[in-house]
Structure 1
Amino acid sequence: MPRTLHLVKHGQPYILAGVPAHEWQLAEGALTGLPGLISRLRPVPDVVVSSEEAKAVSTGQGLAAALGVPSRRMLGLHEHLRYTAPVYPDPADFQAAVERFFDHPAQVVFGEESADDARRRFANAVEAVMRRQTEDSVAIVAHGTVISLLVAHGAGLDPRALWKNLGLLGALTLDWPTLRLREPLD
């Protein structure tokens, strides 16, 4: 029987202009949706592992505390590298940058990492988590772009559609190690 992997997108960050996204904290009230998230995680995770970015760590710790399970961190689960990318005040500009990122997966067009490189790095980190954590059900709290890249690659889907549909505190549940989605996407 396959193991369960829940890939969870962090809660709402507090966006600060001039501060790189990897430094953002969670916004006040960002975890009020945890009960809804928990109701969708079946089977319930035995452990929660998060990216080391503050918004993912806080989300992972909150989720683990609500479930009464251990919380851990793992290198390599961070969002695609965009340390020098501007913080776009207009959401349409950010959307356009992400679209270019998905349209040119082998090129560095947004930030410092191509989509292909981000997917491979994230896949390697997920693999390491699943080797280390032997529990039947594992939740990884990470970031929308890398989650979308990994799942789309494994399922032959468009990462843009996944990225657009994966909301904050959203989750995709997969079989491990096949990365087969358990629920069809809308």
Structure 2
Amino acid sequence: MFLTHAEPVVDPRTPIESWGLAAVGVARAGAWRAPTDRVVTSTEQKAVDTARLVAGPEPVVPIALDERLVEIDRSATGYLPFDEFDAVVDAFFARPTVSVRGWERAVDAQERIVDAVRAHAATGDVTIVSHGAVGALLLASLSGAPISRALEQPGMGSVLTFDAVRWRTTDAWRRLPLPPEHV
């Protein structure tokens, strides 16, 4: 199972990998429990926060960190205002073999995320907490489709289930619901 982090606090003054969860992200992730024996997460703070919430308050399941599960490397630009960011993301998916504005190439990020997910899924039942763009790259691999932005999650805090042996999806992206008091 692959879960994307919930909604973060976007702060242009803070490094992207250090962003924590916004209140709505805490509510979304906190209302769901990982239905697996363990959780492996990206080392980025928003993913770690999500993993801690879905693992349960004890935590009920153990949590491990894996740097290979981080989002695409966009340190060359850092934070970009939404419209500019959106245009660069479009270019990232449209030209997967090119480094757009110094960002990690989509084909390289795909290889990294696929290798990490295969390694963790091969060792048993796991919930992997990661990020949206690499989630779309994973979905392309699982479905045998070309890299495309059309494969992105419906929103932050979405889950994708897959069969690691047959290497295919078993369901489409599903967004974790918000608890009723946050709708």
Tell me whether the two structures share a fold, i.e. TM-score over 0.5: yes
Helix, strand or coil for the counterpart of 2:56? helix
**8 A Cα contact 1:9 1:166, kept in partner:** no
TM-score norm. by structure 1 comes to 0.82
Corresponding position: 1:122 with 2:110: no
Among residues 43, 50, 57, which one is paired with 1:59 in the alignment?
Answer: 50
Among residues 26, 30, 36, which one is paired with 1:45 in the alignment?
Answer: 36
Moved more, 113-122 or 62-71: 62-71
| C-alpha distance in 1 between matches for 2:18 and 2:154 | 21
Alignment of 1:44-123 (within 5 A): 44-65=35-56, 68-89=60-81, 91-123=82-114
Corresponding position: 1:31 with 2:23: no
Helix, strand or coil for the counterpart of 2:91? helix
Paired position in structure 2 for 1:16: 11
**8 A Cα contact 2:94 2:148, kept in partner:** no
Cα distance, 1:122 vs structure 2: 1.2
| C-alpha distance in 1 between matches for 2:102 and 2:32 | 30
Corresponding position: 1:150 with 2:138: yes
Aligned CA-pair RMSD? 2.2
| C-alpha distance in 2 between matches for 1:159 and 1:178 | 22
Helix, strand or coil for the counterpart of 2:161? strand
Helix, strand or coil for the counterpart of 2:67? coil
TM-score norm. by structure 2 comes to 0.83
Tell which has more relative contact order, 1 or 2 (C-alpha 8 A, sep 6+): 1
Q: Which runs of 5+ in 1 are unaligned?
A: 1-5
**8 A Cα contact 1:119 1:149, kept in partner:** yes
**8 A Cα contact 1:37 1:171, kept in partner:** no
| C-alpha distance in 2 between matches for 1:61 and 1:170 | 16
Helix, strand or coil for the counterpart of 1:72? strand
Cα distance, 1:25 vs structure 2: 1.5
Kindly tell me: are residues 48 and 110 of structure 1, through their superposed partners in 2, closer, same or farther at Cα, counting changes over 3 Å? farther
Paired residues, number: 172
Alignment of 1:143-182 (within 5 A): 143-157=131-145, 159-163=148-152, 165-182=153-170
Q: Which amino acid aligns with 2:5?
A: H
| C-alpha distance in 1 between matches for 2:79 and 2:86 | 12
Cα distance, 1:77 vs structure 2: 0.6
Kindly tell me: are residues 82 and 111 of structure 1, through their superposed partners in 2, closer, same or farther at Cα, counting changes over 3 Å? farther
